[in-house]
């Protein structure tokens, strides 16, 4: 006699529970949660855009009026300072000790400027975001006096020929912009105040109050501007501004801000 509970040809009985791969049902996974669906009638759309216009049109007009009062003057002097012969052998020009590299230009801003006045310099096609350039520094040395000897990652501007540490070390500080500017009103020279041209967070958390320049720009090849060895790095705001690497090739840095004089 055949056993009725036995399977036929090794198959499971019809009543056995099958394992399902179907995920557990939920309104979230099936995107069936209740939601507000606005009914966009012509009147509702017109009223909405009218309200937005009432708010933002005055803001736009005020911004347009304010920007119209901005006076912007731009002067380019690299093409007039360097003769065409320099481009043929730029390295020889840089290394030459006898060639006078001082170039003086005078510009007059005809429009009247109201405070605040911001002065910037701009470099084009300057790859300040290059990987090797960005890494050529030591943040610990910039912040702590005790880390003066730490010149890791500063190659090739890390130590002098006498193996003395350079503070601040690295290509970034070594190549600091060194053009000089003077400003005058009615033939009276203005005192340039370098205070507050750098971010306060950089001055207070990246450059130490007890760290002073040492052996800086003392080698045979001078890269850029020199630093005052009697002033701590936290107060050398030209350096702090230059140290903020630009992410694009057109580098723009602050020279001076006049928020008082009109």
Which residues are within 8 A (CB) of 123 and not within 5 positions of it... i.e. 6 or more apart? 177, 250, 251, 252
Question: Angle at the Cα of 179 (from 174 to 184), degrees rounded to 5?
Answer: 145
> For residue 107, is the peptide bond before it cis, meaning its omega torsion is within 30 degrees of 0?
no
Mean pLDDT over each residue of the chain, to the nearest integer: 86
Structure tokens at 108: 């007059």
The partner residues of 159 in beta bridges, in order of sequence, read: 165
What's the pLDDT score for residue 59?
Answer: 96
pLDDT grade for 2, boundaries at 50, 70 and 90: very low
Give the Cα separation of 87 and 14 in Å (integer). 90
The partner residues of 121 in beta bridges, in order of sequence, read: 253
Which residues are within 8 A (CB) of 71 and not within 5 positions of it... i.e. 6 or more apart? 109, 111, 112, 113
Half-sphere exposure of 103 (CA within 13 A, CB side): 12
The CA-based dihedral angle spanning residues 122, 151, 165, 92, taken in that order and rounded to the nearest 10 degrees: -40
Q: Are 250 and 124 in contact (CB under 8 A)?
A: yes
User: Is pLDDT above 50 for 241?
Assistant: yes
pTM of the model: 0.72
Lowest mean pLDDT among 182-186, 219-223, 244-248: 219-223
Q: Are 242 and 133 in contact (CB under 8 A)?
A: no
Give the Cα separation of 77 and 138 in Å (integer). 34
31 conformational bin, left if phi > 0, alpha if psi -120 to 50, beta if neither? left
What's the pLDDT score for residue 7?
Answer: 45
Residues in the chain: 262
Give the Cα separation of 138 and 207 in Å (integer). 11
Q: pLDDT tens, 221-236?
A: 778 899 999 999 999 9
Q: pLDDT tens, 87-121?
A: 778 788 877 778 888 888 888 988 888 888 889 99
Domain extent listing, the chain:
45-109+122-258
């Amino acid at each position: 006699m055949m056993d009725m509970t036995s399977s036929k040809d090794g198959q499971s009985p019809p009543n056995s529970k099958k394992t399902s791969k179907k995920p557990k049902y939920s309104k979230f996974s099936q995107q069936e949660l209740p939601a507000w669906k606005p009914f966009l009638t012509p009147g509702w759309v017109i009223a909405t855009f009218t309200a937005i216009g009432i708010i933002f049109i005055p803001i736009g007009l005020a911004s347009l009026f304010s920007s119209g009062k901005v006076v912007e003057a731009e002067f380019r002097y690299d093409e007039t300072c360097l003769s065409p012969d320099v481009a043929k052998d730029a390295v020889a020009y840089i290394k030459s000790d006898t060639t006078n590299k001082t170039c003086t230009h005078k510009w007059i801003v005809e429009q009247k400027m109201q405070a605040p006045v911001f002065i910037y310099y701009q470099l084009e096609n300057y790859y300040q975001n290059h990987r090797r350039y960005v890494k050529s520094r030591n943040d610990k040395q910039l912040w702590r006096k005790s880390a003066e000897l730490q010149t890791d990652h500063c190659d090739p501007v890390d130590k002098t020929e006498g193996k003395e540490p350079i503070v601040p070390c690295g290509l970034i500080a070594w190549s600091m912009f060194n053009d000089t500017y003077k400003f005058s009103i009615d033939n009276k020279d203005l005192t340039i105040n370098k205070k507050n041209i750098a971010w306060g967070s950089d001055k207070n958390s990246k450059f130490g109050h007890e760290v002073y320049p040492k052996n800086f720009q003392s080698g045979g090849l001078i890269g850029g501007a020199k630093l005052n060895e009697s002033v701590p790095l936290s107060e050398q705001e030209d350096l702090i501004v230059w140290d903020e690497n630009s992410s694009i090739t057109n580098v723009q840095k602050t020279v001076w801000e006049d928020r008082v004089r009109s």
